[in-house]
């Protein structure tokens, strides 16, 4: 730039050059933003994992993931990536309610990679589609009550039903939860089900192919297929996938003592262990033992 003698005005060419430079500079800042906007996906599909035994701890973590998905406006659909044999009855119900809440706001699709049985099947009932593979299993719509633990010698109780229940009471509890479970299956799947309410209550597990055939599941497909279906349901042509880290929690442990007595312990993810007897379970299969923890329990 040449300095004019009075320093006041530029030549016309200088002015144009200055404007062009300013415009290029401004564009250099705005162009990437515009480019990003043009190439930005229409939305996001969140993948939430339900893995391992359902305990109050793992259920809380999944509930948190689902709540985040609901509150995050950039998330338009949720895929449940399920590999769980179920777990505690109350925790499974909590998951069901949370998935139901999410499904009321955005498309939810479930993908069973290996096992989606009992409490885990309960949890994914509100999903609009359940994807399975031929070898994955779903079903086991039932409740079981473990036998009550032995009372401690010399224990003083305030009432006859404190810390114990009669067989009649436990049968009634199981029947009550079973009614709720089977009722939920019929509520969400009765349009597709080829099975009667009684057949569902037999609590059988079905392989993926059989489940699609009888309406316990909807389609054969991978988690990718489930993601695509969720995006379609949310009208997303172009989407990105956000995978939530699976919750890291302790499992449902069954500790067996040397004398043959046993106690079920739910290990809390926050580090303390409470000895408990969660007598009502929605779980398929037998619960694993962890004998090395026996020393921590004086039961």
Partner 1 sequence: MSAPKSRLVAVFVIIVAVLVGAAAVAPYALGSAGDTNDTAPIENQQFQPGTVLPSEDPEDGEITMESSQRGKTVLVDVGHANGVSETDLEPLLSTLVENGHEIRFYRGQRQELNESLRSADAFVVASPQQRFSNDELAGVEAFTDAGGRVLVMGGPPSVEASGGLLLGLGGFAPTAPRTADLASTYGIAYGSGYLYNMEDNDNNYKSIYAETASSGRLADGVERVVVRDAVPIRTNGGTQVLVGSEGTTLSTTRDAGRYAVLARSQGGNVTAVGDTSFVTRENAYDADNEVLIGNLADFLVTGDKAEGAPTPPGADSPSESGSGAGPAQPPREPTPAPS
Least separation in angstroms between CB 134 and partner 1? 25
Please give the residues from 214 up to 273 whose contact with partner 1 meets the rule CB under 8 A: 254, 256, 260, 262-264
Residue whose C-alpha is closest to residue 273's, from 246, 257, 288, 295: 295
Q: Do 111 and 223 meet the contact criterion of CB atoms below 8 Å apart?
A: yes
Q: For partner 1, which stretch binds (CB under 8 A), given 38-46, 97-105, 128-136, 207-215?
A: 97-105
H/E element holding 274? strand 273-275
Cα–Cα dist 24/111, whole Å? 50
Supply the DSSP string of 4-48, one letter for each residue.
Answer: PTTS----HHHHHHHHHHHHHHHHHHHHHHHHHHHH--SEEEEEE
Candidates 180, 193, 220, 275; binder of partner 1 (CB under 8 A) is: 180
Using DSSP's 3-state secondary structure scheme, residue 148 falls into coil
Rounding to the nearest 10 degrees, give the CA dihedral for residues 274, 143, 96, 214. 150
- With beta carbons less than 8 A apart as the criterion, state whether 142 and 111 touch: no
Residue 294 is a binding residue for partner 1 (CB under 8 A): no
Task: Return the residue of 20, 104, 152, 163 that touches partner 1, per CB under 8 A.
Answer: 104
Which residues in the 69-88 window bind partner 1 by CB under 8 A? 70-71, 73
Q: Which of 201, 220, 275, 297 binds partner 1 (CB under 8 A)?
A: 201
Residue span binding partner 1 (CB under 8 A) among the ranges 31-39, 74-82, 151-159, 171-179: 171-179
Q: Among residues 4, 11, 40, 289, which is the contact residue for partner 1, using CB under 8 A? A: 289
Q: Which residues bind partner 1 (CB under 8 A)?
A: 67, 70-71, 73, 97, 100-101, 104-105, 146-147, 149, 166-168, 171-172, 174-177, 179-180, 183-184, 186-187, 198, 201-202, 254, 256, 260, 262-264, 286-287, 289
């Amino acid at each position: 730039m040449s300095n004019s003698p009075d320093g006041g005005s530029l030549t016309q060419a200088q002015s144009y050059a200055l404007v062009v430079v300013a415009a290029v500079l401004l564009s250099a800042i705005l162009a990437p933003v515009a480019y990003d906007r043009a190439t930005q996906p229409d939305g996001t599909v969140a993948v939430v994992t339900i893995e391992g035994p359902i305990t109050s701890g793992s259920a809380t973590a999944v509930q948190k993931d689902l709540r985040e998905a609901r509150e995050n406006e950039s998330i338009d659909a949720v895929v449940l990536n399920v590999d769980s044999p179920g777990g505690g009855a109350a925790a499974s119900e909590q998951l069901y309610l949370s998935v139901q809440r999410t499904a009321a706001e955005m498309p939810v699709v479930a993908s069973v990679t290996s096992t989606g049985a009992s409490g885990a099947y309960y949890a994914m009932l509100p999903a609009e589609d359940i994807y399975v593979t031929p070898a994955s299993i779903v079903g086991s719509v039932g409740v079981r009550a473990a036998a009550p633990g032995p009372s401690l010698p010399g224990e003083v109780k305030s009432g006859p039903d404190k810390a114990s229940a009669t067989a009649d009471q436990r049968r009634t509890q199981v029947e009550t939860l079973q009614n709720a479970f089977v009722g939920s299956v019929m509520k969400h799947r009765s349009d597709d089900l080829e099975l009667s309410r009684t057949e569902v209550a037999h609590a059988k597990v079905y392989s993926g192919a059989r489940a699609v055939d009888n309406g316990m599941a909807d389609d054969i497909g991978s988690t990718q297929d489930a993601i695509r279906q969720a995006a379609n349901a949310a009208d997303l042509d172009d989407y990105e996938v956000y995978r939530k880290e699976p919750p890291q929690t302790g499992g449902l442990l069954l500790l067996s003592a040397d004398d043959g007595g046993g106690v079920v312990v739910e290990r809390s993810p926050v580090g303390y262990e409470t000895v408990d007897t969660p007598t009502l379970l929605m779980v398929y299969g037998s619960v694993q033992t962890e004998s090395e923890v026996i020393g921590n329990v004086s039961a």
